[in-house]
Amino acid sequence: QRYCRDVYRGQLASVHSAARNQELQKLAKTYSIVSPWIGAVTSRKAGKWESHWEDSSPWNYANWAPTHPFHVVTTCATLSVRDGLWRSRFCFQLRPFICQY
């Protein structure tokens, strides 16, 4: 998120519809990017696990793979180019990402 903001003056992509999810999946596939970061973060707040967007937009759509998101530690989400589903990953992993403006 910081790199996207500081270098590109954007935010990690937030996804609010199946159409947008498909568009980003297709974009990543075009550039041969495998499972890029999107802006979803899952963390524990007031004893309850919640997902939110890094850009603070409303959480009104989700496309998690079965068994995701993980509810063990704070995780970030990747978008699978193969199936379009989101998967929890440790946030410190270096990966390609999708930035929006």
pLDDT in tens, 38-79: 999 999 999 999 999 999 999 999 999 999 999 999 999 999
Q: Residue 37 is part of which domain span? A: 1-100
How high is the pLDDT of residue 36?
96
**pLDDT, greater one: 33 or 19:** 19
Token pair in block for residue 36: 């890029």
CATH classification of the domain holding 57: 3.10.100.10
Give the chain's domain count. 1
DSSP output for 2-58: HHHHHHHS-EE----SHHHHHHHHHHHHHTT--S-EEEEEEEEETTEEEEEETT---
pTM listed for this prediction: 0.92
